[in-house]
Structure 1
Amino acid sequence: MEYSEFLDRVSARARLSPELAERLTRAVLRTLAERIDSGEADDLAGYLPEQVRGYLVKDRISAEGFTLPEFVRRVQLRAEVDPVRAENAVRAVLSVLHDAVEEAEWAELMAQLSLDFRGLFEAAPGSGPGGPSAPPGSR
């Protein structure tokens, strides 16, 4: 997936300007890098456009074990947005990430996240920020 396509999808799914989509993509991927181990971060980075791979670079090997509410809080602080916009961005960026990676890789990522992350994708198709596309995991 090309960089512009990645950001266009995030922008459309979260209903964001291109500039805000870029800022929130950076915040979500940097927070994700804190939440997962370095091997998984490296694996995911290999699927992403070169311009966003660096957001998954980790300073340490181990993962921090925080839940979805803390993940959203960190994104909110990093991107300087309200909590609702941060949560919508988390959903959108992870949804586009799911589009970009193989199913086995997505399963490995989900195995590293707490169960509450799965709730991001349980809305009926077309009812959430992803618009008319089905939520990840329903393909």
Structure 2
Amino acid sequence: MADTPPGAPGAPQSRSEKRHQSHIGSTYAAFIKHLSEVGKLDAGLAECAAVSVVNALLHRIHPDEAKDLQAQLPRKLLDFLPKEEAQKPGRILGKSRDDFLRAVAEDLRKDISEVEPIVRAVFLGLREHISEGEAQDVESNLSRDLQDLWRRTQ
């Protein structure tokens, strides 16, 4: 029976790999905990909202900017984003605030009237997690009414 090569699925992890995985998990857990506190959301909703709002946001900004934003987000959050070819960052799915809120409402299976406070909470958590320069870059890629929503989290 041959040994499983390091890094292959099912292979034992080195201490360094275990520490790395632990760091990824703790960074994500801290991010979700912060969203829960900021938005007064239960952890499950905060997690679903983070995925939905980030996914919607990535589809409304330029692909290069989407990559820059993704580089500053918890890696585990990125693992939860859809991977389908049709879900490429930067693909505009309606530019308006209402389109954005509608997309999040559909994802979360909530009425559109319920999601604005959730989106604000996630935007606030994102703004506090990323650099100020990145926050400004994201804002400059949004439509005016979405910029207003992004700014109202300050």
TM-score when scaled to structure 1? 0.78
Count of residue pairs brought into register by the alignment:
125
Mapped to 2, the partners of 1:48 and 1:121 lie a distance apart of: 17
Q: Which has the larger radius of gyration?
A: 2
After TM superposition, list the pairs within 5 Å mapping 1:12-23 onto structure 2.
12-23=37-48
Residue ranges of structure 2 left out of the alignment (5+ in a row): 1-25
Identity of aligned residues (%): 27
Q: Secondary structure at the residue paired with 1:36? A: coil
For residues 103 and 90 of structure 1, do their structure 2 counterparts lie closer, same or farther at Cα, with a shift above 3 Å needed?
same
Q: Secondary structure at the residue paired with 1:66? A: coil
* 8 A Cα contact 1:14 1:88, kept in partner: yes
User: Where does residue 108 of structure 1 map in the other structure?
Assistant: 137
User: Where does residue 95 of structure 1 map in the other structure?
Assistant: 124
Residue ranges of structure 1 left out of the alignment (5+ in a row): 124-134
Kindly report the root-mean-square deviation, in angstroms, between the aligned alpha carbons of the 2 structures. 2.3
* 8 A Cα contact 1:25 1:89, kept in partner: no
User: Where does residue 63 of structure 2 map in the other structure?
Assistant: 38
Mapped to 2, the partners of 1:38 and 1:97 lie a distance apart of: 18
Mapped to 2, the partners of 1:63 and 1:113 lie a distance apart of: 13
Runs of 4+ in 1 over 3 A off after TM superposition: 56-63
Mapped to 2, the partners of 1:103 and 1:59 lie a distance apart of: 26
Specify the code of the residue in structure 2 equivalent to 1:24: A
